[in-house]
Structure 1
Amino acid sequence: MSTITTKDGVEIFYKDWGPRDGQPLVFHHGWPLSADDWDAQLLYFLGKGYRVVAHDRRGHGRSAQVSDGHDMDHYAADIASVVEHLDLRNAVHIGHSTGGGEVTRYVARHGQPSGRVAKAVLIGAVPPIMLKTAANPDGTPIEVFDGFRQQLAANRAGFYLDIASGPFYGFNRPGAHVSQAVAQNWWRQGMMGGAKAHYDGIKAFSETDFTQDLKAIEVPTLVMHGDDDQIVPIADSALLSVKLLKKGTLKVYEKLPHGMCTTHADIVNPDLLAFIKA
């Protein structure tokens, strides 16, 4: 199993597939999942000749279930360690949901100073900030995230099954094509990780303010979002983020859900390829 150990002693699992001389595409997964959530993208881009890399965030998947460091600064530093270990250059960093926040902080704080990043992609991503605050009055109230924490602590397995079977993939919408296999795979990935990491991760994805990170990003950045995203509402995320990016491009997907990379990979993947090749 491929792992690296970070400076603070955390073992991080990663996948590294494809030709060593291919352009690297680095995929950052959402909460509370793992690198496996990118299967539909990893195989697609592997077939196009790219080098594809995806890691399990600390406390998630096959990475160490440590007690501490479940915040965006550590998440970004961890992927920086993976990138340095593999010596990835001219890479495109692609993040979904919480992973989009991770990409934003990584590129702003670690990727650009080292010159390792060519482009970035934010898909259904949490920036600029999800939480309702005085500066972000249209955000989601803290009570919603407190509810997430309560449900996780009370019955994590049931909570995860409800998310996967309902709003994450839009399976709760009238006429939706429901895939129990997709929902069960989401549940499997979630239950592989540690409850402590997932509990702390709710604060990380909901309360982190990425405004200054977005403003600092110099590389071309594609912002992709479904307008029926029930997990990260588009009005509070993508529509705001693209205004803060220097070289941002927004692509909105009508009626697509938060988990569109899985349910609509046939639409998402070609658009990603076009942006990477542009």
Structure 2
Amino acid sequence: MGVITTRDGVDIFYKDWGSGRPIVFHHGWPLSSDDWDAQMLYFLDKGYRVVAHDRRGHGRSSQVWNGHDMDHYAADVAAVVEHLDLRDAIHVGHSTGGGEAARYVARHGQGRAAKLVLIGAVPPIMVKTEANPGGLPIEVFDGFRQQLAANRAQFYLDVAGGPFYGYNRPGAAPSQGIVENWWRQGMMGGAKAHYDGIKAFSETDFTEDLKAIEVPTLVMHGDDDQIVPIADSALLSAKLLKNGTLKVYEKLPHGMCTTHADIINPDLLAFIQG
């Protein structure tokens, strides 16, 4: 088991498997590095070194009460990358992890990050503001906080069993294993980290991060993403990136890396090898 301690005393758990060119995976809220199983096994088999960490307050990392913001998240990634001395790395971020990966590459990635992939990612900014009129109203995220505080366990079952994987769509065939694994990962983490994380993923403005990123970046998004609607995320991010490529997946959900790994993984490989 790999663990590093950050400058502010937080233990960050990470996995580091294989050898070769490194791929660093950044997980979504409120999950853990386990959410990347389908990708890590695939790329390990292709000869890559795969690295994934549990964000502070999530999974097996310290359940600290503070520092649950994108600046700390990105700095924690930088600590893991420097500890493992990863260079020429590809960073792959899903959802909240996409925001984390973007901020890491923009602020810490020079000389180490070679490519970036944003999957169902939260940038540029999720919440509705005067500058972002197409965003989701703050009341949506207030509702998340209320449900988490009232009954976190049930809230997580409802998210995983419904919109996250598109299991609320007509004709969907829910996987009980996938739902329970999402719930397991969520409940491993700390309630305070997850509560604060809602603000981090919804209210952080990544516009300047995206503009600063110079490495080739692939933006992947399902057009039936009910968690991070595509119109106010991927479509805008792709325009802000200097070297961005947008790939839209018809009818695929937010959790498409799990439900459709057979489609996503080869596309990731093609981008990495390209």
TM range (shorter): over 0.9
* Counterpart residue number, 2:232: 236
Letter in 2 for 1:107: V
Shift in Å, 1:268: 0.0
**2:51: which partner in 1?**
53
CA–CA distance in 2 between the matches of 1:187 and 1:127?
25
Aligned to 1:100: 98
Q: Measure how far apart 1:259 and its partner are.
A: 0.1
Match of 2:127, as an amino acid? L
Report the counterpart of residue 12 of structure 2 in structure 1: 12
Q: Give the Cα–Cα distance (whole angstroms) in 2 for the partners of residues 35 and 67 of structure 1.
A: 20
Alignment deviations for residues 75-114 of structure 1 (CA, whole Å, 9 cap, x no partner): 00000000000000000000000000001100000002xx
Shift of 1:177: 1.7
Q: How far does residue 53 in structure 1 lie from its aligned partner after superposition?
A: 0.1
Is 2:59 the partner of 1:30? no
- Deviations along 1:151-179, one digit per CA (max 9) or x if unpaired, are 00000000000000000000000001210
Matching residue's letter, 2:107: R
Counterpart Cα distance in 2 of 1:167 and 1:183: 11
Separation in 1, partners of 2:140, 2:240: 26
Please state if 1:225 is matched with 2:209. no
Q: 2:39 aligns with which of 38, 41, 48?
A: 41
Number of the residue aligned with 1:175: 171
**Which residues of 2 match residues 73-222 of structure 1 at below 5 A?**
73-112=71-110, 115-222=111-218
SS at match of 1:107: helix
Q: SS of the residue aligned with 1:16?
A: strand
Question: How many angstroms does 1:128 deviate by?
Answer: 0.1
Distance in 2, matches of 1:116 and 1:26, equals 11
Which amino acid letter does the alignment assign opposite residue 167 of structure 1?
Answer: P
Q: Which residue is 2:2 aligned to?
A: 2
| Matched letter for residue 115 of structure 2 | K
Q: What residue is the counterpart of 2:246 in the other structure?
A: 250
Q: Which ranges of structure 1 fall in alignment gaps of 5 or more residues?
A: none
| Cα distance in 2 for residues equivalent to 1:138 and 1:159 | 26
Alignment partners' CA distance in 1, 2:109 and 2:48: 19
Q: Which amino acid letter does the alignment assign opposite residue 50 of structure 1?
A: Y
SS at match of 2:108: helix
TM-score of the superposed pair, with normalisation by structure 2:
1.00
Q: Residue 34 of structure 1 aligns to which amino acid in structure 2?
A: S
Amino acid of the structure 2 residue aligned with 1:151: Q
Secondary structure in 2 matching 1:121: strand
Q: Which runs of 5+ in 2 are unaligned?
A: none
Alpha-carbon distance in 1 for matches of 2:127, 2:168: 24
The alignment partner of 1:222 has SS state of strand
Secondary structure of 2:109's aligned partner = helix
SS in structure 1 at match of 2:15: strand
Structure 1 counterpart of 2:16, which letter? Answer: D
State the percentage of identical aligned residues. Answer: 85
Q: Note the C-alpha offset of 1:125.
A: 0.1
> What whole-Å deviation, never above 9, does each CA across 1:11-63 have from its counterpart, x for those lacking one?
000000002xx000000000000000000000000000000000000000000
Equivalent pairs, count: 274
RMSD: 0.3
Cα distance in structure 2, aligned partners of 1:47 and 1:40: 11
